[in-house]
């Protein structure tokens, strides 16, 4: 798939948005997609001066006028345009007929422009800008919200929006991990003012009012006499007002700034901190929470969404205005090492939810949804061009989610509506083969070696021979190859073909193929386990369970487990028909 990512205007120096766009760019490329990351051009601000004073207005001219032609050129010939920051939704659309996705990190500024309290007040010009952002969001075909809180805001503020509002949580933007004490202290030697023999609290972020840095200072002031630790503010340097507050609270000698630390240094800070203290009043996601958890650092955070959602129950949550409860949390971690250890371990588990691959897969699914909805002639063209699928002109796929690694459909092959097929290396339908509606066809991917590493040559595939048919509402597990012979029928509803299960003797996942012979008939609600082979010219009675290779043709197999119970006439018209469709 060919994707255009639209990043942020570089002179704005929005670090989190730059990290997000880079994460998307790298993740999509590693997933095998053709990706271009384009930025609004700094035509008038070539020296990339900070956006203050007159340069703020110069930036508006660059972003809203001079950048549009180059971004439109970048959008030519792509399958999807993905605007990585909702603040740039004003660019939607960049190309006619191309789906546009916008990542919505938060709607705090939009809410502020509407008069809601979000610590994001808006000037007259700011209100106009937020209106244009909302108009851009409404023009997009899908919005990807990074948290449920943001998703709820989008559903409320964009009432009547015709596109999809999806939940796509952020992933870690760096492979943060727990490191040894010695390694952490070696890295922290780069901060001479930090006394690693003393405990310290860590805050990561900026001076925006909603980040609530003053709460960190005030909560430590409450326990100044009993807690001797330092306070490390990483990110933006403290404002004059915050330094004045620190002086008023007699904390100046304990406060330390680490301005925009590199990832390796930040990892060491997380690893050695008593806790990350993150009492934000308002957030869209809260990256520092999962960064800290990935480093086994306990978290004290606000109890306002989305932080409890992101922290996954593995943090001490406090009212951001209740400094006494925050101070009590600090003392609890200092005095109860078992609580700190428990939070560390649960935090490590929660951080695993935020891997890059699942996030990228959610976006790819969102992109693919646009293809699914297209008329078949256009869908067939895109599937051939961008996925390399081999689709005969007379083949057809309905409104279905069919994305194996390789798809081959011979003349007159059909896949019905609302069927899902994913994870397979190969799906091949021979001439006049059909898969009906609402089937669920999946496999454990071949490239994932977490399981089945002992199964050399495992092939997640479904092969449907000429005139064979799978009717409706079946579940087919193709972790190992499933083959259905010519003129065979998986009939009725709710049959299960399960190629993998747990090998109890070896205590591991194992997978074996399933083969259904020529002219075989599988009745409704049957279960076929891995290793099953159904002979040619045989019938399996409804509700039967098959678990082995059966050998005799022209037999009726029935029961749990199934066995041959009757002989069948070779001249049955089902066994001698020359077209698969049964009238």
CA distance 272 to 185: 8
Residue range 200-245, pLDDT digits in tens: 999 999 999 999 999 999 999 999 999 999 999 999 999 999 999 9
Give the residue from 363, 316, 306, 359 showing the smallest Cα distance to 150. Answer: 306
Give the residue from 189, 92, 210 showing the smallest Cα distance to 143. Answer: 92
Residue range 93-103, pLDDT digits in tens: 998 888 999 99
Name the DSSP class of 476: E
- Give pLDDT, residue 40: 93
Contact 390, 408 (CB under 8 A): yes
248-251: long-range pairs with CB below 8 Å, 24+: 249/217, 249/218, 249/220, 249/221, 249/224, 250/221, 250/224, 251/217, 251/220, 251/221, 251/224
HEC states along 378-416?
Answer: HHHHHHHHHHCCEECCCCEECCCEEECCEEEECCCCEEC
Residue range 50-75, pLDDT digits in tens: 777 888 888 888 888 889 999 999 99
- Give pLDDT, residue 23: 95
The HSE-up count of residue 187 (CA atoms within 13 Å, CB side) is: 17
| Domains in the chain, CATH or no CATH each | 2-167 (3.40.50.2000), 181-352 (3.40.50.2000), 374-576 (2.160.10.10)
- For the chain, give the longest Cα–Cα distance: 98
Give the residue from 257, 205, 268, 197 showing the smallest Cα distance to 231. Answer: 257
Q: Which residues of the chain have pLDDT under 50?
A: none
Residue range 360-372, pLDDT digits in tens: 989 988 888 888 8
- Give pLDDT, residue 457: 78
**pTM tops 0.85:** no
Give the residue from 429, 363, 442 showing the smallest Cα distance to 401. Answer: 442
Q: In the structure, how many helices (H) and strands (E) does the chain have?
A: 17, 37
Give the residue from 485, 476, 490, 563 showing the smallest Cα distance to 521. Answer: 490
Residue range 78-121, pLDDT digits in tens: 989 999 999 999 999 998 888 999 999 999 999 999 999 999 99
What proportion of the chain, given as a percentage, has pLDDT over 70?
Answer: 100
Residue indicated by tokens 């053709």: 34
Name the DSSP class of 214: H
């Amino acid at each position: 798939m060919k994707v255009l990512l639209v990043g942020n205007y570089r002179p704005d120096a929005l670090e989190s948005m730059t990290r997000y766009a880079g994460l998307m760019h790298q993740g999509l490329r590693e997933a095998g997609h053709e990706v271009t990351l384009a930025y609004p051009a700094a035509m008038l601000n070539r020296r990339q001066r900070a956006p203050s004073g007159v340069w703020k207005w110069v930036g508006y001219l660059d972003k809203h006028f001079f950048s549009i032609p180059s971004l439109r050129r970048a959008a030519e010939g792509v399958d999807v345009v993905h605007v990585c920051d909702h603040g740039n939704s004003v660019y939607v659309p960049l190309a006619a007929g191309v789906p546009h996705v916008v990542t919505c990190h938060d709607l705090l500024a939009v809410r502020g422009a509407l008069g809601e309290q979000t610590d994001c007040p808006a000037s007259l010009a700011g209100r106009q800008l937020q209106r244009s952002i909302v108009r851009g969001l409404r023009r997009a075909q899908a919005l990807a919200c990074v948290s449920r809180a943001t998703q709820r805001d989008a559903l409320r503020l964009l009432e009547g929006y015709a596109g999809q509002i999806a939940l796509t949580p952020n992933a870690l933007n760096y492979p943060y991990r727990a490191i040894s004490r010695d390694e952490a202290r070696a890295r922290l030697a780069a901060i001479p003012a930090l006394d690693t023999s003393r405990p310290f609290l860590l805050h990561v972020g900026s001076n925006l009012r909603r980040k609530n840095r003053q709460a960190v200072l005030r909560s430590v002031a409450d326990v100044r006499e009993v807690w001797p630790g330092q306070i490390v503010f990483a990110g933006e340097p403290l404002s004059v007002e915050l330094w004045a507050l620190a002086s008023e609270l007699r904390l100046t000698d304990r406060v330390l700034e680490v301005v925009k630390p590199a990832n390796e240094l930040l990892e060491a800070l997380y690893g050695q901190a008593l806790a990350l203290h993150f009492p934000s009043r308002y957030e869209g996601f809260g990256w520092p929470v999962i960064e800290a958890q990935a480093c086994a650092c306990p978290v004290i955070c606000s109890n306002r969404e989305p932080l409890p959602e992101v922290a996954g129950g593995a943090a001490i949550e406090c009212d951001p205005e209740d400094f006494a409860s925050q101070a009590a949390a600090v003392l609890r971690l200092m005095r109860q090492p078992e609580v700190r250890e428990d939070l560390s371990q649960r935090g490590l588990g929660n951080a695993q939810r935020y891997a890059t691959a699942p996030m990228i897969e959610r976006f790819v699914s969102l992109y693919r949804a646009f293809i699914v909805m297209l008329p078949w002639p256009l869908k067939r063209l895109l599937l051939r061009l961008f996925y390399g699928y081999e689709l005969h002109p007379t083949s057809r796929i309905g409104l279905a989610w069919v994305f194996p690694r390789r798809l081959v459909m011979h003349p007159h092959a059909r896949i019905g509506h609302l069927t899902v097929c994913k994870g397979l290396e190969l799906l091949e339908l021979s001439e006049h083969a059909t898969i009906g509606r609402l089937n669920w066809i999946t496999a454990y991917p071949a490239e994932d070696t977490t399981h089945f590493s002992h199964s050399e040559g495992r092939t997640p595939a479904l092969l449907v021979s000429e005139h064979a048919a799978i009717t409706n509402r079946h579940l087919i597990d193709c972790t190992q190859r499933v083959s259905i012979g010519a003129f065979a029928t998986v009939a009725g509803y709710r049959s299960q073909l399960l190629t993998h299960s747990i090998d109890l003797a070896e205590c591991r996942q194992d997978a074996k193929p399933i083969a259904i012979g020529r002219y075989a008939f599988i009745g409704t609600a049957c279960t076929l386990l891995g290793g099953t082979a159904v002979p040619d010219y045989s019938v399996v009675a409804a509700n039967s369970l098959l678990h082995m290779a059966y050998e005799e043709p022209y037999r009726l197999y029935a029961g749990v487990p199934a066995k041959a119970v009757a002989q069948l006439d070779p001249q049955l018209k089902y066994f001698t028909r020359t077209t698969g469709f049964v009238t």
